[in-house]
Chain A
C-alpha cells in the first residue's frame, strides 16, 4: 500500500500489514483499528521531550534500561507474537525499556515498556487518553506518565500488584520532584521538565 487513502479505516489490520505500508503519515494500530497521529507536535511539546530526555539519557548511560522517543514502535502483546497476530502498535512520546529481550528482533519493542510518557497536545489526544490508559494498564506498563504542557503538570500512574493503575497522589508541578522504583536513584525536577517553555 503506497497511500494512506488505500486504507480502510473500518477494517482490522495487523503488524504484518503495518510493516508494508510505505506512506509518510504516522499511524497507530489499536486492537487492529487504525488511529491517525496528529501532525507535527507543538514546539513546547518537543521542548518537554528534550527536557525529559536529557536527564533520562544521562542517568541511563551505564544502566541496562534504554530510553526511546517517538517515532518508535511498541507492539503490545500478550502471547501472540507473530507479525500476523499482533494487532496493537503504538508510538509513545517517550518510553523506557529495561528488558533487552523485548528489543531482540531489532525492529521495534515487543511487549510493554517499563515506563511510558505521553505529552498531550491541546485536546487532540486528551480524547485518546482513555484508550491509551486502558491499553497500557491491560498490557502491563509499570508506570504511565501523562504530561500537560499548557497547564504544566504531570500525572503519574503506577501499576499495582493487581494490574490496575493508581494515581501516585496529586499532579506534580513546579517545585516537585519525581522518583520511580523503575529507575532507583533518578530524581527529576518538574522545574526542569517545564524549562524554557513559552
Chain B
C-alpha cells in the first residue's frame, strides 16, 4: 500500500500489514484498528519528551535497560508473536525496556516495555488516557507515566499485584521528584522535566 487513502479504517489489520505500508503518515494499530497519530507535536510536547528521555538516557548509561523515543514501534502481545497474529502496535513517546530479548528481531519491541511515558497534547487525549491506559494495563506495562505539559504535572500509574494500575498519592508537579522501583537509584525532578517551560 502506497497511500494512506488505500486503508480501510473499518477493517482489522495486523503487524504484517502495517510493516508493509509505505506512506509517511504515522499510525498506530490497536486490536487491529488503525488510529491516526496527531501531526507533528508541539514544541512544549517535544521539550518535555526530550527532557525525560535525556534524564533516563543519562541514568541508563552502562546499565542493562534502554530508553527509546517515538517514533518507535512497540508490539503488544500475549502468546501470539508472528507478524500475522500481532494486532496492536503503538508508538509511546518514551519507553524503557529492560529485557533486551524483546528487541531481538531488530525491528521493534516485541512485548510490553517496563516503563511507558506519554506526553499529552492540548485537546482530546482520550486515546492516551483511556485506550492506551487500558492497553498498557492489559499487556503488563509495569509503570505508565502521563505528563501534562501545560499544567506541569505528572501522574504515575503503577501495576499492582492484581495486574491493575494504581496511583499512589496526588499528581506530581514542580518541586516533586519521581522515583521508580524499575530503576533503583533513578530520581527525576519535575523541575527538570519541565525545564524550558517554567
Contact = CB atoms under 8 A, between A and B. Distances in A.
Q: Do A and B come from one complex?
A: yes
Interface of A: 120, 122-123, 126-127, 129-130, 133, 146, 148, 150-153, 155, 157, 165, 167, 170-176
Interface stretch (B65-73, B104-112, B166-174): B166-174
A59 to B, nearest CB: 25
Interface stretch (B23-31, B74-82, B89-97, B119-127): B119-127
B130 A151 contact: no
B150 interface: yes
Interface of B: 120-126, 129-130, 133, 146, 148, 150-153, 155, 157, 165, 167, 169-171, 173-176, 197-198
A149 B124 CA distance: 10
Q: Give chain B's interface secondary structure class.
A: loop
Given A165-B170, A167-B155, 5 more contacts: A123-B151, A126-B148, A150-B122, A151-B123, A173-B124
Given A133-B170, A146-B171, A148-B148, A173 B130 contact: yes
Contact of A126 (B133, B151, B167): B151
Q: Chain A CB within 10 Å — which of B121, B126, B169, B198 has the most?
A: B126
B151 A151 contact: yes
Contacts of A171: 129, 146, 155
Q: List the 7 closest A-B pairs by CB distance, nearest first.
A: A150-B150, A167-B167, A126-B152, A151-B120, A174-B126, A133-B170, A126-B151
